[in-house]
Structure formats: structure tokens, C-alpha cells
């Protein structure tokens, strides 16, 4: 048998009683309905809160994606500028090699770099960007190797140029040229391996190239003699000096005073006997004045 509940309501100050009879099943259904409503309200509230959070997270991610896209676009622009600078460097590199008669670098086998992305998706753009970075890195390595090679060549040329005699060792005038001549003392024809430059005793004698003093002393034919080794096979000799101002092993610069002119040794008057030798062989100093 079904259970029934009776609810009595007696208003204050009134003798009238209101009576309500409720079945247990109705109470259960009502409670179930209220519970469902409460759950529905809670579910809607949770959904609303979650939807708001999702919208905020979506906006945050979209803004982050926009910023990342801007940064990627800026990076692509900078890479393009760097590619153009490397192209200019490559052109200058080629010009330097042509001017100095150098061959192309052995590692110069790179393709061109740059260009649009393969696709519009982030993965495609990122992959294309990584390819450009790798290409630029290889291009930078190539330019570095090439520049080191050119710098080494130019250093060698600078060293060679610094070792090559140039200019007059003393102020004066040539009284005897390089070559076979009649000896001023016995009249015999002999090879004269340098230039005789007449000047006053005590005139400063300067080295015509940087180098190391290899010999200092007195020789019967040369008088007081200074010999300087300039490297790359070049050496110079300065004879008949009145005074020597350097020592063996001393480093000297081009134009540095190493002695004073005189009339020592086998000499008929104040002058400097100047010799230039290449790999030990005397050559005409005229081409180095």
C-alpha cells in the first residue's frame, strides 16, 4: 500500500487549517526533479565558466601565434638582408681573386639561398626557414674560408713586398754601374756586382728593405761592410762605410740608418758600394731603385 504524508499549515491568528496530502512517490519524483534542476544549473555554470576560460585561452593562443608570426616574418626579412650582404661579399671575393689571379675556393659548390616558403602552413614555413638558415651558415663558412685564403695570400704578398729592396740607400750619384767594367786600380775587365754611389763621408746609409742584419765586419774589397737578409731570397750589401751602426741579428726597418758612408777598403773615394742579391745571385740594383 502506498504511503501518504499530510502537511498541515495553520496561519498565525487564524483557526483555519490547510491540509495537503502528498504521496511518497510524488515526493520522490519532486526531489528527483529538483536534483536534476540543481545538476543542470551546476552543469550550465561549469560549462559557462569553462567556455569563458576556453575563449580567453583561445584569444591568448591566437595573440601568441600572431606575435610568433610577426617574429618569423622579421627573421625572414633579416635573413634576406643577410643573404644580400653575403652576395655582395661573394662578388667582392670574386673580384679580389681575379685581381690577384687566384682560383675559386675549392669548397665553392653551394646553391643559391633564399626564396619563398614551400607552403603556407607553420610547419612548411618553419622547415623553409631552417633550410635558409642552414644554407646561410654554409655560405658564411665558405666566405670565412675564402677570406682566410685571400688574407693569407695578401699577407704573403705584403711580406714579399716588404722584403723586396726599393729606393736609394744613400743620397748621391752613380759613378759605376752594375756589370763588366774596367777596374779603376789595375785596368782589368772584371764583373762589378753592384752600384757605386758617390757621396760625402758621414752621409747616412739606409737599408732599402726590412730584414735582419746577417753580417757586420771588415772585408778587404768592401771595407766596413753590412749585409742584411730580407727574406724571400732577397739580401742587400753596403760597403766602404766609415761607421757601422747595427749589430748582427738586429732587426731593421726599411729606411733605417745602418751606417755612414766612407772610403774604407778598396776604394778611390767616398762612396757606397750597394749590392742586391736574389737567392745569392747578384742582380742589377737599377731595377730596385
Assigned C-alpha cell, 268: 778611390
Average pLDDT over residues 176-199: 87
Distance CA(141)–CA(105), nearest Å, equals: 12
Asked if 86 contacts 146 with a C-beta cutoff of 8 angstroms, the reply is no
In the chain, the percentage of residues whose pLDDT exceeds 70 is 85
Asked if 264 contacts 156 with a C-beta cutoff of 8 angstroms, the reply is no
Per-residue pLDDT of 3-47, as tens digits, reads: 666 666 677 766 676 766 666 676 677 778 788 888 888 888 887
Cα–chain center distance at 16: 106
Q: Which positions ≥6 away from 276 have C-beta within 8 Å?
A: 165, 194, 208, 234, 235, 236, 282, 283, 284, 285, 288
Read off the pLDDT band of 222 (50, 70, 90). Answer: very high
Read off the pLDDT band of 213 (50, 70, 90). Answer: very high
Distance CA(229)–CA(103), nearest Å, equals: 32
- Please give the pLDDT value at position 100: 75
Distance CA(261)–CA(287), nearest Å, equals: 22
Assigned C-alpha cell, 36: 536534476
Residue 273, number of CB atoms within 10 A of its CB: 24
Cα–chain center distance at 278: 37
Per-residue pLDDT of 70-127, as tens digits, reads: 777 777 777 787 778 778 777 778 777 777 777 776 555 444 444 444 455 566 666 7
Determine the Cα angle at 131 with ends 129 and 137, to 5°. 105
Amino acid at each position: 500500500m502506498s504511503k501518504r504524508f499530510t502537511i498541515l499549515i495553520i496561519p498565525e491568528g487564524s483557526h483555519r487549517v490547510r491540509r495537503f496530502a502528498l504521496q511518497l512517490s510524488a515526493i520522490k519524483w519532486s526531489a528527483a526533479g529538483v536534483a536534476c534542476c540543481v545538476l543542470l544549473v551546476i552543469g550550465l555554470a561549469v560549462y559557462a565558466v569553462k567556455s569563458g576560460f576556453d575563449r580567453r585561452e583561445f584569444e591568448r593562443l591566437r595573440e601568441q601565434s600572431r606575435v610568433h608570426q610577426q617574429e618569423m616574418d622579421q627573421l625572414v626579412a633579416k635573413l634576406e638582408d643577410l643573404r644580400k650582404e653575403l652576395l655582395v661579399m661573394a662578388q667582392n671575393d670574386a673580384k679580389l681573386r681575379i685581381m690577384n689571379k687566384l682560383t675559386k675556393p675549392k669548397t665553392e659548390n653551394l646553391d643559391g639561398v633564399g626564396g619563398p616558403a614551400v607552403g603556407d602552413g607553420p610547419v612548411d614555413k618553419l622547415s623553409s626557414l631552417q633550410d635558409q638558415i642552414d644554407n646561410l651558415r654554409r655560405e658564411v663558412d665558405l666566405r670565412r674560408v675564402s677570406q682566410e685564403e685571400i688574407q693569407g695570400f695578401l699577407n704573403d704578398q705584403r711580406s714579399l713586398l716588404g722584403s723586396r729592396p726599393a729606393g736609394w740607400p744613400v743620397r748621391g750619384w752613380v759613378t759605376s754601374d752594375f756589370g763588366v767594367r774596367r777596374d779603376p786600380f789595375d785596368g782589368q775587365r772584371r764583373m762589378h756586382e753592384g752600384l757605386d754611389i758617390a757621396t760625402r763621408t758621414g752621409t747616412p746609409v739606409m737599408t732599402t728593405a726590412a730584414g735582419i742584419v746577417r753580417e757586420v765586419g771588415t772585408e778587404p774589397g768592401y771595407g766596413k761592410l753590412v749585409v742584411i737578409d730580407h727574406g724571400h731570397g732577397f739580401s742587400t750589401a753596403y760597403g766602404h762605410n766609415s761607421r757601422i751602426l747595427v749589430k748582427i741579428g738586429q732587426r731593421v726597418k726599411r729606411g733605417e740608418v745602418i751606417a755612414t758612408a766612407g772610403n774604407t777598403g778598396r776604394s778611390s773615394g767616398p762612396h757606397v758600394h750597394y749590392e742586391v742579391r736574389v737567392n745569392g745571385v747578384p742582380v742589377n740594383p737599377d731595377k730596385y731603385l
